Amino acid sequence: MTRRLAAELVGTFWLVFGGCGSAVLAAGFPDLGIGFAGVALAFGLTVVTMAYAVGGISGGHFNPAVSLGLTLAGRFAWRDLLPYWIAQLAGAVLAAATLFAIASGQPGWEPGGFASNGFGALSPGGYSLSAALLAEIVLTAGFLVVILGSTSKAAPAGFAPLAIGLALTLIHLVSIPVTNTSVNPARSTGVALFAQTEALGQLWLFWIAPLAGAALGAVLWRYLLVPGEAPEGIGGDGAA
């Protein structure tokens, strides 16, 4: 269990550091940075790389919503859910702290939103609470369907990390303007701790919506699509 939790911590660290780091350090630097599309790709690449690297150890969740969805789908044990959440949160906070330490090394740098999520005034496009809630639920549900489908016995072996990483890229391309994209409560929590905005006050939505979306995706998969599938996690080898 210790190795599995360590893998989740490292994988979540990489996701938050790589994905949010691309937004904080590279999205608009100096004037022609990587932009929304580059940030979206960075998040997808973090999942692809760490799913191949440590997915065989922990199942490669890196996200409390994914762990909940896999549990509800019968792919993951309830007794392991809270330890995974703790490891994922620890990895996210450590990544955010590391990113803050690096970014603050630039003279005159201010954290501002620090790649945090939000609605209303904190939404990149000014989207409302209801729009943010719906987007996060629908996109997390779709993410769980991709995860469960690509790791099922019927899916081609070895390609799950690519499908999941591309799905996360697509999710970011759709929702960065709406919420700055969460679909991951750990990712939202880590950076919100360092933001100079009201991100912490809006963090509740980025727990409730992804968890609700994960539950919806798990139910859709388990009862409407392919009942009876058994493999676990993004790694697809039953390691989770």
pLDDT in tens, 128-163: 999 999 999 999 999 999 999 999 888 888 899 999
Is residue 37 in a domain?
Answer: yes
Domain total for the chain?
1
pLDDT over 60 (residue 228): no
- Mean pLDDT to the nearest integer, 60-85: 96
In a domain, 235, yes or no: no
CATH code for the domain of 182? 1.20.1080.10
- Compute the Cα dihedral for 102, 59, 145, 207 and give only its sign: negative
Which range marks the domain in which residue 75 is found?
A: 2-105+114-225
Q: Find the mean pLDDT for residues 197-220.
A: 97
Residue 230 lies inside a defined structural domain of this protein: no
> Which DSSP letter does residue 156 get?
P
Look at residue 227 and tell me whether its pLDDT is greater than 70.
no
Asked if the structure places residue 205 within a domain, the reply is yes
Say whether pTM exceeds 0.85.
yes
Do the domain assignments include residue 233?
no
Q: What is the largest CA-CA distance in the chain?
A: 56
Q: Band of the pLDDT at 51, cuts 50, 70, 90?
A: very high
Confirm if 142 and 87 have CB atoms less than 8 A apart: no
Question: Which pLDDT does position 239 carry in this prediction?
Answer: 40
CA angle at 72 for the pair 67 and 74, rounded to the nearest 5°: 95
Average pLDDT over the chain reads 91
Does any domain span residue 236?
A: no
The arithmetic mean of pLDDT across residues 191-195, rounded, is: 96
Contact call for residues 159 and 167 (beta carbons, < 8 A): no
What average pLDDT does range 209-219 have in this prediction?
97
Residue 218 within any structural domain of the chain: yes
Asked if 70 and 76 count as a contact pair (C-beta separation under 8 A), the reply is yes
167 belongs to a structural domain: yes
Containing H/E element for 127? Answer: none
pLDDT of residue 31: 67
User: 109 — phi, psi (to 5°)?
Assistant: -70, 140
Using pLDDT thresholds of 50, 70 and 90, give the confidence band for residue 240: very low
Distance CA 96, CA 224 (A): 38
What local confidence, expressed as pLDDT, does residue 231 receive? 45
At 213, the pLDDT band (50, 70, 90 cuts) reads very high
